Homo-oligomer: A and B are copies of this chain.
Amino acid sequence: MNVVIRAAKPTDVPSIFELIKELALYEKAPEQVSNTSKGLEEDLFEKNLCQAIVAEIDAEIVGFALHYTSYSTWKGACLYLEDFYVKEDKRTLGIGQLLFDEIIRIAKESKVKRMDWQVLAWNEPAIRFYQKQQAILDPEWLNGRLFFE
């Protein structure tokens, strides 16, 4: 099995967007996805609001990670890992670790002081994965949100 980890290209976006919808379904919030594949393509490759990497096996996109530069008044520029997903039937092959390692490499290369993400408190397989990465998982903060849709 030959897994390729590489930067996403515009032609990958429809596949990435399918994975985004799969992840939203797993996170029990499929109705919250109002973004579109076309919008995501613009945001990645025209507006440069975010960047993505993909995991590919035999020309099939089986996982991805999407990140952007966030900001901490305490630390300065940070890398925010917004989405990170491997298709269910491709798990346990180590693909998540390859993607996560590449994100850490990108974070270090861009000299950020911190990398952040969120995980649902009930998502035990993901929590176990992050614990293996020696990550801090902090339950102290609530997410505040206002919607303008």
Report the Cα distance A70→B79, complex, angstroms.
11
- The reply to whether A142 and B114 contact each other, CB–CB distance below 8 Å, is no
Report the Cα distance A118→B141, complex, angstroms.
6
Residues on the B chain within 8 Å of A83, using CB: 73
With both chains docked as a complex, state the minimum distance between the C-beta of A30 and any C-beta of chain B, in angstroms: 9
| Interface status of A132 (Cβ within 8 A of chain B) | no
- Name the one of B73, B74, B135, B140 contacting A121, with C-beta atoms under 8 angstroms: B140
| Interface status of A55 (Cβ within 8 A of chain B) | no
**CB within 8 Å of B: which of A22-80?**
23-24, 29, 32-35, 39-40, 43, 47, 49-50, 66, 68-77, 80
| Interface status of A107 (Cβ within 8 A of chain B) | yes
Extra contacts, 5 of them, besides A66-B71, A122-B140, A136-B146 (Cβ < 8 A), are A34-B76, A35-B75, A49-B76, A119-B141, A137-B143
Number of copies of this chain that the complex holds: 2
With both chains docked as a complex, state the minimum distance between the C-beta of A98 and any C-beta of chain B, in angstroms: 17
Interface string of A117-130 (1 = CB under 8 A from B): 11111100001001
Residues on the B chain within 8 Å of A69, using CB: 49
| Interface status of A94 (Cβ within 8 A of chain B) | no
| Interface status of A115 (Cβ within 8 A of chain B) | yes
Report the Cα distance A145→B74, complex, angstroms.
14
